[in-house]
Chain A
Amino acid sequence: MCDHRCFVYEIVKMSGSSNLVAMKKIVQQLRFEASINRVKVSQAAADLQQFCMQNALQDPLLTGVSSSTNPFRPQKVCSFL
């Protein structure tokens, strides 16, 4: 009888222990995430915008690439003279 009760008790404790372990991991991860340094969105957005502007001229899809330099655009037809 006592064995049976202990058996059931141990089942309950078993799930408790594995929850405990999982919970500790979650809390550790949250502590880590809470500690990172963040910048304001206005600052981050300004940096994203600056990167776009600085690299706009090197972006072929923005500047448009002529047929002669874009290998995929249709080439002028060659004709034999």
Chain B
Amino acid sequence: ILNSGCNNNVKGKVKGCEPRVLSLQNILSLILFLLPASALTTGIYMIFSTKPEMATQEVQPNETLTNLKAESDTLKTKLEDERAKLHDVELHQVAEKVDGLGQFIMKTRRTLKGHGNKVLCMDWCKDKRRIVSSSQDGKVIVWDAFTTNKEHAVTMPCTWVMACAYAPSGCAVACGGLDNKCSVYPLSLDKNENLAAKKKSVAMHTNYLSACSFTNSDMQILTSSGDGTCALWDVESGQLLQSFHGHAADVLCLDLAPSETGNTFVSGGCDKKANVWDMRSGQCIQSFETHESDINSVRYYPSGDAFASGSDDATCRLYDLRADREVAIYSKESIIFGASSVDFSLSGRLLFGGYNDYTINVWDVLKGTRVSILFGHENRVSTLRLSPDGTAFCSGSWDHTLRIWA
């Protein structure tokens, strides 16, 4: 660092300073300013400047800061104007001529009992019958949803296992939570085998794991965390392939774009923002901030051109990626509890939302109206997913059970 041309510091941000000999003044500054983490960047900046230069640079940072702030405000206004210009009609107006949906009846067809505490997350296997679920009691269970039998059970070293996912091959599950990690457990056909022995730790965050998902193969996992970041990991080596920074608070959920539409995913967080990311570059491509509270769940529309979100502000919203704006809000005055999880039916016409008032509301995506309300759970609905063939969906709840609805 001392001898190299300092066009790049540790994070490659500070540019254009000249290397100078260290003086005692600089050393003292360095020691004192290296203590706070954020000072590391500027601490190295300090090494390479002398007092006379600092006097002239005194004016520069403030001016540039002001200019940048002004540009930032201009750009934000421009973005709002651009988005507003294209807002020529509402989705439900376009959908006025579409036939309304008939009476919609769905019932609980199976109840999966076995967890000792709140069910926090679940995922379907591609074989359309197996389900993995995770709970506050630290257990991860693999069920056969047709027979309601438990096929595997793993006890995690932590409570609050907030995330779980089935591998595309059906041969492994991933899970994590308060242990700040995402671990992969290969599933063996031998029911007596201790799954915990073959556990592989893949992801390491600095705060709780809120969601995880395999990408198109068993080889990569995408995670989101309370530390405000998302990350892409190689399962075999545990190596971090890409990290995604941009949320200002805990990231609570993520969803991968349907494979036909390319390498992007959407994440939602406690900063009320939903961000769309490019998986290869790590860049945030689009950002949406219209919710009034934490976004608990995000899910892509089946075509990949839009996504829905569920939030603590008691609304679900639909954002269109090509129009770059919110195009629908699903809410009612009578719904005052947060939506914890959302998913679409296969055609995208129906949006299922699990809420903290123990119900599941079914929305007509195009018309913006509620089609049905499903009762059954005896506590908050925490997780909800459509089966891979679209014939049913599964909901998990704080009442310790999972229900299959069809």
Hey, which bits of chain A sit against chain B, CB under 8 A?
3, 6-7, 9-11, 13-14, 16-21, 23-24, 26-27, 29-34, 36, 38-49, 51-56, 58-62, 65, 69-74
Contact = CB atoms under 8 A, between A and B. Distances in A.
Interface in B350-406: 350, 365-366, 389-392, 404, 406
B129 A59 contact: no
B29 A10 contact: yes
Given A18-B38, A27-B75, A29-B284, 16 more contacts: A3-B25, A9-B58, A10-B29, A16-B65, A17-B41, A17-B61, A19-B65, A30-B72, A30-B76, A36-B286, A38-B324, A40-B86, A41-B89, A41-B91, A52-B348, A72-B391
13 contacts: A13-B57, A18-B41, A27-B71, A34-B75, A41-B90, A41-B320, A42-B94, A45-B94, A48-B366, A49-B95, A52-B347, A59-B390, A61-B346
Contacts of B346: 55, 58-61
Contacts of B28: 7
Chain B residues touching A, range: 35 or more
Given A10-B29, A27-B68, A72 B86 contact: no
A56 B347 contact: yes
B327 interface: yes
Contact of B391 (A26, A32, A55, A65): A65
Contacts of A19: 65
Interface stretch (B209-217, B262-270, B297-305): B297-305
Given A19-B65, A55-B302, A72-B109, A48 B46 contact: no
* 4 closest residue pairs by CB, A with B: A59-B347, A55-B347, A30-B75, A44-B323
A38 B323 contact: yes
Contacts of A31: 75
A40 B323 contact: yes
B287 interface: yes
Contact of B327 (A10, A17, A30, A41): A41
Contacts of A72: 109-110, 145-146, 391-392, 404, 406
A26 B324 CA distance: 19
State the majority secondary structure of interface residues on A: helix
Nearest to B303: A51
A61 B106 CA distance: 9
Contact of B345 (A13, A59, A65): A59
A39 B86 CA distance: 7
A34 B79 contact: yes
Contact of A59 (B14, B89, B94, B349): B349
A6 B146 contact: no
Interface in B57-99: 57-58, 61-62, 64-65, 68-69, 71-72, 75-76, 78-79, 82-83, 86-91, 94-95, 98
Contacts of A14: 33, 39, 42-43, 46
A12 to B, nearest CB: 9
B302 A38 contact: no
B327 A44 contact: yes
Given A42-B88, A49-B98, A56 B323 contact: no
B348 A48 contact: yes
